[in-house]
A and B are shown apart, each in its own frame.
Chain A
């Protein structure tokens, strides 16, 4: 029998009992639809994260902090060390008290910075200066709380308008996030770029000061959190005000530092370097690592959804077995006749397993098409409403390659499901098959 004839008969045969085939196809459809949607979410999210990493990540920089000490619950509190630096007392947090948990988080001391700088592969270490200004005001539109995003040092902003910060100028510059525009009294992002704002801050003695700075640009919200980003000149200025009147006896410490390394370093070497620092008690993270945490969570959710889709497909596989077993039973005499006429067992086997594969193809193709048909408008609807805070995120992205893989997997499952009925058909004895139900007279 020719391949195209086997194929044509398999397709024709699968439509003989339309209701039965339809119900089996529906079962496969459910699995394939779910799988297509979840893989689209996976693609959409990782695509967004990759774009974020490449758009805002600066290669060759770690954010370094003291590794969090674990095991306090089981071993009780650690021994008190009067010389250990705590970030609340340092220049990091300033006069308004710690922003972290009570007592402050473990901070990096000057010795820590020196030992990190001595690590081979690290070219430079700079403590992260954190400032806590009180408010920001544009024109006479009232004062609003200003949150400073400390990630400015390790990322470049994804801009909605204006320019990037210039860290080598003595001009005081900042970037504000898009979410600040309305409250501050701007009409749009373009009007904010280049405007002058007033920033209020208190010194160590709680005396208020104001600083005037230029908004050079407006940045999109990112996964790294919102908040204004300040250039080095503005940071230094605010830090100086913050530490005015500070007693000289306070221990110096920093919540975090940035360490630079060769941007061309291979990812394996970066991992090794992170391991070396981790062994020394420091947590070193690149922008990709920080954003990757989100990906790990999303991957977990997608994995669970995929498992559900897999269970649906498993059930559908049994549906295929059932459908084809009934089909083999109904067509016993036909199989006997074809065998009597010289059709080989292999061709009979191929006929039934192709029927199974075709049912799998129908279910997965319809599932994928419907998923695309529903998912595409849904994704753009979500982007404009619920997810509008994350510009550039299309939650559902249908990659042709992953759809092809899903269809191949479904068709493979169908093929496996078809093996039992197909081999039952192929093994039939022509004489017994011809005698089967002789009273059926057709």
Chain B
């Protein structure tokens, strides 16, 4: 078993003194390469905070976070950036597309940041768009796409760097049920065909049920009883 991510009793709080708010108060979990994990819970349950910590976008206030067995707190900032750039892909509820840039430019953004040459960027970007059947939209401006197309562009952007893990925060939250289902299918297909680990934050029980494992969050803790339900 290859433990790609492991959290040991991680804690995160915001604010200070009387306004201190514990977003996470001791959560442990481990994610094996190639599995699909759903983090479910109501708003304010700490599920997004947990995802941000696992995705190394934030530092835990306590506990340990291991990436490929290495302590994340011991990694330098540039190593963290490198890790996120090469091994992680992100799909958010909002699309975060650069509105006036072309679809292709949006898709290859992680490669541009990585410093990949223009020619290779183009080839890899077009390959990612082809997988999501968006080749004909490569030169369109992102702002001119429909919601479903935008989310497909986002998925293309998430997989263009061949990541090991894709973090999806409410990936279907902004889509109607038909397009939402298509986007879900695409994510699970990537998991099956490429072995990409999926960590999906959602409050949609049906989407959570399609995952190998569900982590139910309540008030900053994992609610083990929630899995039974």
Tell me how far the C-beta of A126 lies from the nearest C-beta in chain B, rounded to whole angstroms: 77
**Interchain CB contact under 8 A, B112 and A5:** yes
Kindly list chain A residues whose C-beta atoms are within 8 Å of the C-beta of B62: none
Contacting residues of chain B (57-102) with chain A, CB-CB under 8 angstroms: 57-58, 77-78, 80-86, 90, 92, 94-101
Q: Determine whether B227 belongs to the interface, using a CB cutoff of 8 Å to chain A.
A: no
Residues of chain A contacted by B113 (CB below 8 angstroms): 1, 338, 341-343, 347
Nearest CB to that of B96 among chain A residues?
A337
Once the chains bind, are A442 and B109 in contact (CB under 8 Å)?
A: no
A433 → B minimal CB distance (Å): 10
Q: How far is the CB of A269 from chain B (nearest CB, A)?
A: 61
Minimum Cβ distance to chain B for residue A350 (Å)? 12
Let me know if B96 and A342 touch, CB within 8 A. Answer: no
- Give the docked Cα–Cα distance between A438 and B169 (Å): 13
Tell me the complex Cα distance, A16–B94, Å. 21
Q: Which of A344, A431, A434 contacts B96 (CB 8 A)?
A: A434
Question: Which A residue's beta carbon lies closest to that of B78?
Answer: A344
Q: A-B contact count, CB below 8 Å?
A: 70
Which residue of chain A lies nearest to B85 when distances are taken between CB atoms in the complex?
A342
Q: A339 to B193, alpha carbons, bound, how many Å?
A: 29
Chain B residue at minimal CB-CB distance from A347: B113
Closest to A345 in B: B77
B82 — which chain A residues lie within 8 A by C-beta?
A: 342
Q: With the chains together, A430 CA to B86 CA distance in Å? A: 17
The CA-CA distance from A138 to B100 in the complex, in Å, is 81
Q: Are A342 and B142 neighbours in the complex by a CB distance under 8 Å?
A: no
Q: At the interface, is chain A mostly helix, strand, loop or mixed?
A: helix
Contact status A340-B95, CB under 8 Å: no
Q: A341-B110, A343-B113, A431-B52 are in contact. Are A442 and B142 (CB under 8 A)?
A: yes
The interface residues of chain A lying within 8 Å CB-to-CB of B81 are 342-344
Q: Which of under 10, 10 to 19, 20 to 34, or 35 or more describes the interface residues of B?
A: 35 or more
Q: Does B114 contact A (CB under 8 A)?
A: yes
Chain B residues in 8 Å Cβ range of A12 = 101
Asked if A441 is an interface residue, CB under 8 A from chain B, the answer is yes
Query: Interface readout for B107-128 with A: 1 if CB under 8 Å, 0 if not?
Result: 0011011110110000000000
Contact A342 B86 (CB under 8 A): yes
Q: How many Å lie between the Cα of A9 and that of B142 in the bound state?
A: 16
Asked if A333 is an interface residue, CB under 8 A from chain B, the answer is yes
Question: Across the interface, which residues of A come within 8 angstroms of B95, CB to CB?
Answer: 441-442
Q: Does any Cβ of A come within 8 Å of B143's Cβ?
A: yes
Give the chain B neighbours of A16 by CB distance below 8 A: 100
In the complex, per-residue mask of A322-347: 1 if CB is within 8 Å of any chain B CB, else 0: 00000000000110111011111001
- A-chain residues with CB within 8 Å of residue B86 when the two chains form the complex: 342
**Are A344 and B77 interface neighbours, CB within 8 A?**
yes
Q: Do A341 and B90 have beta carbons less than 8 Å apart?
A: yes
Report B198 CB to chain A, min CB distance, Å. Answer: 17
Chain A residues whose C-beta falls within 8 Å of the C-beta of B55 in the assembled complex: 340
Query: What is the CA–CA distance of A5 and B174 in the complex, to the nearest angstrom?
Result: 32
Q: How far is the CA of A341 from the CA of B85 in the complex (A)?
A: 5
Tell me whether A441 and B174 are in contact (CB under 8 A): yes
CA A344 – CA B79 in complex, angstroms?
Answer: 10
Tell me whether A340 and B57 are in contact (CB under 8 A): yes
In the bound complex, CA of A333 to CA of B99 (Å):
12
Residue of B nearest to A331 (CB): B98
B117: chain A residues within 8 A (beta carbon)? 2
Q: Report the separation of the CA atoms of residues A334 and B113 in the bound assembly, to the nearest whole angstrom.
A: 13
| A441→B142 CA distance, assembly (Å) | 12
CB distance from A276 to the nearest CB of B (A): 67
CB of B76, distance to nearest CB on chain A (Å): 11
Measured between beta carbons, the chain A residues less than 8 angstroms from B114 are 1, 342
A217 to B227, CA, bound (A): 112
Question: What is the CB-to-nearest-CB distance from A393 to chain B, in angstroms, rounded to a whole number?
Answer: 52
Taken together as a complex, chains A and B put the C-alpha atoms of A342 and B87 apart, in Å, by 10
On whether the beta carbons of A334 and B96 are closer than 8 Å, the reply is yes
- A434 contact set on B, CB distance < 8 A: 92, 94, 96
- Set of chain B residues within 8 Å of A438, measured between Cβ atoms: 94
User: A431 to B169, alpha carbons, bound, how many Å?
Assistant: 12
B145 shortest CB reach to chain A, Å: 10
The CA-CA distance from A160 to B50 in the complex, in Å, is 90
For the complex, what is the distance from the CA of A1 to the CA of B111, rounded to whole Å? 8
Contacts of A430 in B (CB 8 A): 57
Contact in complex: A342, B143 (CB < 8 Å): no
> Chain A residue with minimal CB distance to B77?
A344
* Complex contacts, B150 vs chain A, CB 8 Å: 442
How would residues 405 to 442 of chain A score, 1 for a CB under 8 Å from any chain B CB and 0 otherwise? 00000000000000000000000001100100010111
CB contact between A338 and one of B83, B100, B109, B143 (< 8 Å): that residue: B109
In B5-49, the 8 Å CB interface with A consists of none
Q: Indicate with 1 or 0, residue by residue over A14-42, a CB within 8 angstroms of chain B CB atoms.
A: 00100000000000000000000000000
A431 touches B112 (CB 8 A): no
- Known contacts A342-B114, A442-B97; 12 further A-B pairs (Cβ under 8 A): A5-B118, A333-B94, A334-B98, A340-B55, A341-B90, A343-B113, A344-B77, A344-B81, A431-B57, A431-B58, A434-B96, A442-B96
A-binding residues in B (CB < 8 A): 52, 55, 57-58, 77-78, 80-86, 90, 92, 94-101, 109-110, 112-115, 117-118, 142-143, 150, 174
27 A-B pairs with CB atoms under 8 Å apart are A12-B101, A16-B100, A333-B96, A334-B98, A337-B96, A338-B109, A340-B84, A340-B90, A341-B84, A341-B85, A341-B109, A341-B113, A342-B83, A342-B84, A342-B85, A342-B114, A343-B85, A343-B113, A344-B77, A347-B113, A430-B57, A434-B92, A438-B94, A442-B95, A442-B96, A442-B142, A442-B150
A-B residue pairs, 7 tightest by C-beta: A342-B85, A342-B81, A342-B84, A337-B96, A343-B113, A341-B110, A2-B115
